Structure 1
């Protein structure tokens, strides 16, 4: 079974047969899975090290055991920029050997802790991060170009981890949940570099919870959905049993409220806004995003009552006809709406009037200097990259709807 994840909640990373040990490093609010690929991208305070084989003669007695000897050999084989190799070698030395070696290479115990993490062990989060999804997400984090929470790639990888795994990693790295939320909300999540940007299999950790014929049927249905057809995907999710759905959401670190916000209108038989553009379809009757009973008891939001005028409907049609990367077109559509309709649509997409003003100002400034804001551009005027899995008009995948503080206006869902 194959599930397209660019816009999907329950498609999880492919099953990995071996679960590697991890060690974690906390520096400058950066979360790092300690392996060589990440280490090479880190500022390395150990880069100017001197080989122990040259300067360790004074430590011969303290480092005479076979374990210490192997650690010294391993240290001398590490590349200058391979923080993981260096830290692992130093951390494997006995306390007596290490106490002698550190002055020989010009490091203090405090500097070692800063460079290699204070007290973190290579197995600290192994049990919490042993599922195939967590292992794959850890691997994906290592593929990011940086190890900072300001990097959307890192945030996207963390978002794919189970809550238990992510909490352990954050704690081991000295990062609070609040810091993680704020940093990743500020950076936004670029799903083009996320674990979920390529098709993978479903989570093996949910095999028991999703073993019923109806759940398997829903998963099979979802597997047939196009990558950009989030309505199809939400409808499939709506058919899952509560236990299966909860398991799949937990496996990718998402809450039911996030799922509800992303699929409101896309799941069940009464959609209130379209993820693929077009005219509104809901019959709800409130002047702000309202609730109606949806599949699995989730609420359904709609701005139809707030956008019932001919002018608003024309603006919505115009907005849905814009390219997903054309922020200027989106701004023009918003400007044609009355304030009530505009406020409702912004709220439904997790945006504020301030977000709209800033992005439209940036688009206006950028368009006066260049033409990069046009349809098909590779970079949005606000420096956001076009999301993976974007469909026509103002539609974006589920991963882009959730956890993003400032959604690119060119990818707004017009309801």
Structure 2
């Protein structure tokens, strides 16, 4: 059996790493257990082309170098999807795989599933069935189309299974396997716990952009030395939060005037967000706040370490919602909807939707501080999802 798995952007990397290891484990046992050997190729479309946001993740997570890199790079959604389809079709024509495995909901997920189906190649979607109900999100379109085309839909939770059933997906195509992101979390938990928070800050800080720093130790850094002081983490990159000044400016004001007054705020800043802060003349305000610790985009282990001890997380990232659920970090999700409702408080998780309304953010922020950490583990979020994914493909009846 020949499988090509596809990654396109950083959220995919944490999901494909355990899948590759599960294939290697399968191949080690297949000779004795009469299981079919899997020939595996990894294709990276190159949707994330920044070294800090791509290559470093491959190295940190032990993902082998891609067998093929399509080097698509940046561009509009249509450009990325179109260029990926054109280039990926040539790969499929040459390699003739039995399966294409796509993960998540990035443009590569959509483009490669469409291309494969046009060539009558079976498609498996890991993380199938997630729905936000918001078709203004490009990711939602990617999820809908990919799931409609897939032959095997591997879901992270039972809510996702129900979404697929409501859409008329035949039962025999659906398998509940759990959350493959948690495989990566559990495998890397000990390594991350050993990291020093201040060293993470010192190694990644945007010192050249901080006029108040001048390479001296700041009060915020000193507060973190004991490892027991409170701090907040922020990640924010979605256009709905950063592309309009009338939305971004109040969020920045809340962070600098209220959250940073309570505790240091560690902000690994996305290039898009930094660009918009500068464009809107907000960058000086961000850098002037001594309790706002601006970092370059950081690696998986560093972010996991920060999340482990954080007092609160503010984010518009879906993956961090999931990690906060298992780690118990109170999470304010800066979105009006989520494709991961299992992570919300009403389903036993640690996250609450606050959108970008400052009054709601402020209210839930105070509530979260009082609640503290309450770890939760949804069904099959046990670190063994990748093995179930491989078994589902190997045992597929078609």
> Greater Rg, structure 1 or structure 2?
1
Scaled by the length of structure 1, the TM-score of the pair is 0.23
With normalisation by structure 2, the TM-score equals 0.24
